[in-house]
Each structure stands twice: as C-alpha cells, then as structure tokens.
C-alpha cells in the first residue's frame, strides 16, 4: 500500500534475503538491537567547483550523534521512487533543490552498530548530485544537521583512510569505493579546489600529530575534559600550543569543548557555545558557571 511521504509516521521498506521488498515498518520502531534489512540511500552533493558537501549529524540524533558524514541519508517510502526520495530528503534536511541525481554505488549495503547498541542494517544505494553555485549555504533542519562543510573529495577520502573514527561507518565504507578520478569530479585538479572549503571548518588531510590529537579528544567522555597540556601528554609529543593549533583547524570534527585551558576555561571566543555543551553533558562547573571544575571534571583516562 502506498504511503503518504508527508505523513507523521514515516515508514521504511523491509527487504528479504533476496533484496526484494518484503513488507513495511515504522521508522521509529524498526531500529534496535536486531534491525531487519531495509532500504535506504546516501547522497554526495557537489557544487560547481566539484567540492563535496559533508554534514555533521545533529547532536539530538539517536544514533551516531554529532558524527560527520556524507551530504544526506534517508529512506524511500513504500512505492516511492528512490530518486524522488533523494530529492525529497535533501530538500527537508538542507533546503536544496537538486539539479542532477546520478547513481554512484548502486549495490552498496552495510551493517553497523552504534555505541548505544542500535544496529543499522541497510541496502543503501549511493548517489551523487549537483546544486548550482559555489559552496552555496544550506538551510539546515536543526533536528537533522548540526553544521556543514564544502571540501575536496580527496581530503575526505584521505580522512576516511587514516582517521575513520571521525566519520560515520557507512561513509567510511562508501569512500573506500570512491576514487577522485570518477566522472563526477571532472575538475578536481583545478587550483580553486585547494581554497578553504567553508567558513564552518575545513576537512583537509591530517598530519600524524593532528590525527593523534583528534583521537584523544574523540575519546574524552561526555561530562569530562582535558587541558591542552593533558592532551599533549597523552599524545606524547608537542605541547599545549600545538594542540590548540590542531583544534583551531580541525576542532569541528571532535567535541572541542572538552579541551580547556589550565584554569578550566574553554576556548577563547567560544565560551557561550562551550557552556551550553557543558550543561547538556552534565560537566561539573565552578560557582562562576562558565568554568569547568577540574578537580571533579578532569578525565583520568
């Protein structure tokens, strides 16, 4: 039976072992510890300079919150053409009207388990698409996307190879199968490709030191912090300034607010944003209300 894609209850298409539709289920009910195989899609959106749009999942998402991933993901409704679903979901999450949609990895599928124990089990064809202009700014649906970055596809492929923990598991697997010489990136070697990707932060190849810093910061649990010096000691090289430099450039990839100055103050100029995160995560603060109590809030590893 056809489903109204605008209905309040979103349904997904269940698949049998042969990959053919075998039923439908409510999206809110289908994901759990034993998620059945179902139909989904992923899309990578490119601008007029062949830069790809990467998005960071909203912190409120029940699975993989705050993780960087491809431009958009979703589920076709029962009897909805998958290309129509791609266009619908991109409009819903990013506000873009796509000019082109093309198949990229038609047979992609994966299974992954979130830290919460929820399983994703999807047959997930991958598409690439176009939007007009150079690094156009999306109109974000805050329930779905926290932030975004236009960047070089090669940089993202490099990050997936050396620092897969920074990306969603499906994006890592997809990027392993993508090569920069694909027809979707005909001008990838143009000088413009090496400009800064966006004001929201740049995804660029990482040095081994930067990779190690981001790995440590990624592992700091919610409600805890380290100082810049602590991170340098964990890494075993560099110092507080070097760690600060990495987070200034790549902090958008990790929970940067969990690294503080020696007095427990967050990064200068981002205090208000950090304090909101501290309240959300239950990080212990001093009586000032904007300074982490390092006595109880410091992560001991």
Per-residue pLDDT in tens (0 to 9) along the chain, 301 residues: 333 444 457 899 999 988 899 999 998 888 899 999 999 999 999 999 888 999 999 999 989 998 889 999 999 999 999 999 999 999 999 999 999 999 999 999 999 999 999 999 999 999 999 999 988 999 999 999 998 888 878 778 877 887 788 899 999 999 998 864 344 443 333 323 333 333 344 445 578 898 899 999 999 999 999 999 999 999 999 899 999 999 988 887 788 999 999 999 998 877 877 887 888 788 999 988 889 999 999 999 8
Q: Exactly one of 72, 73, 93, 124 is catalytic; which is it?
A: 73
One domain, residues 75 and 173:
yes
Report if residue 110 sits inside a domain. yes
29/172 same-domain check: yes
* Cβ atoms 133, 185 nearer than 8 A: no
Q: For the chain, what is the domain count? A: 2
Decide if 265 is inside a domain: yes
pLDDT digits (tens, 9 = 90+) for 114-154: 999 999 999 999 999 999 998 899 999 999 999 888 887 87
In a domain, 187, yes or no: no
73 is catalytic: yes
Residue 11 pairs in a beta bridge with 26
Quote the pLDDT of residue 250.
Answer: 82
Q: Which of 145, 130, 3 is nearest to 67 (CA)?
A: 145
- Provide the pLDDT for residue 188: 34
What is the pLDDT, as a whole number, of residue 37?
A: 96
Instruction: Looking at the structure, tell me whether residues 170 and 214 fall in a common domain.
Output: no
Strand partners, 141: none
**Residue 201 CB-density burial (10 A; 0-12 exposed, 13-18 middle, 19+ buried):** buried
Quick one: pLDDT at residue 182?
41
Question: What pLDDT does 200 receive?
Answer: 42
> CB-based contacts of 167: which residues, under 8 Å, 6+ apart?
67, 68, 69, 156, 159, 160, 175
- According to DSSP, residue 36 is labeled P
Looking at the structure, tell me whether residues 101 and 214 fall in a common domain: no
176 and 213 inside one domain: no
* C-alpha to C-alpha distance for 20 and 35, rounded to whole angstroms: 17
Given this model, what pLDDT does residue 12 score? Answer: 94
Q: Which of 83, 93, 120, 122 is catalytic?
A: 122
User: Model's pTM, two decimal places?
Assistant: 0.64
CA neighbor of 301 nearest in space, from 190, 200, 187, 219: 219
Cα 209 to Cα 55, 128, 261, 277, 286: the distances in Å are 24, 33, 20, 26, 32
- For residue 248, indicate whether it is catalytic: no
Residue 108's domain comprises 11-133+145-180
In a domain, 139, yes or no: no
Give the integer Cα–Cα distance in Å for 144 and 133: 23
Residues 50 and 149 both lie in one domain: yes
């Amino acid at each position: 039976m056809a489903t109204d894609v605008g209905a309040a209850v979103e349904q997904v298409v269940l698949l049998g072992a042969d990959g053919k539709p075998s039923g439908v289920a409510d999206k809110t009910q289908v994901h759990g510890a034993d998620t059945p195989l179902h139909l989904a899609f992923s899309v990578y959106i490119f601008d007029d300079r062949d830069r790809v749009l990467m998005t960071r999942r909203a912190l409120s998402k029940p699975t993989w919150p705050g993780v960087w991933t491809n431009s958009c993901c979703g589920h076709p409704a029962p009897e909805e053409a998958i290309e129509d679903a791609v266009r619908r979901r991109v409009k819903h999450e990013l506000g873009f009207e796509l000019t082109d949609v093309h198949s990229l990895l038609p047979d992609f599928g994966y299974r992954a388990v979130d830290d919460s124990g929820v399983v994703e089990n999807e047959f997930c064809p991958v598409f690439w698409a176009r939007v007009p202009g150079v690094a156009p700014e999306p109109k974000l649906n805050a329930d779905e996307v926290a932030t975004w970055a236009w960047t070089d596809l090669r940089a993202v492929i490099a990050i997936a190879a050396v620092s897969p923990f920074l990306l969603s598991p499906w994006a890592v697997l997809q990027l392993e199968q993508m090569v920069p010489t694909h027809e979707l990136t005909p001008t990838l070697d143009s000088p413009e490709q090496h400009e800064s990707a966006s004001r929201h932060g740049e995804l660029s190849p990482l040095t081994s030191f930067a990779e190690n810093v981001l790995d440590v910061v990624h592992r700091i649990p919610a409600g805890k912090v380290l100082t810049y010096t602590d991170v340098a000691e964990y890494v075993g090289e560099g110092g507080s300034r070097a760690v600060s430099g990495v987070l200034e450039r790549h902090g958008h990839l990790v929970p940067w607010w969990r690294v503080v100055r020696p007095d427990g103050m967050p990064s200068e100029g981002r205090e208000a944003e950090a304090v909101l995160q501290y309240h959300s995560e239950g990080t212990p603060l001093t009586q000032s209300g904007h300074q982490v109590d390092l006595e109880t809030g410091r992560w001991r590893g």
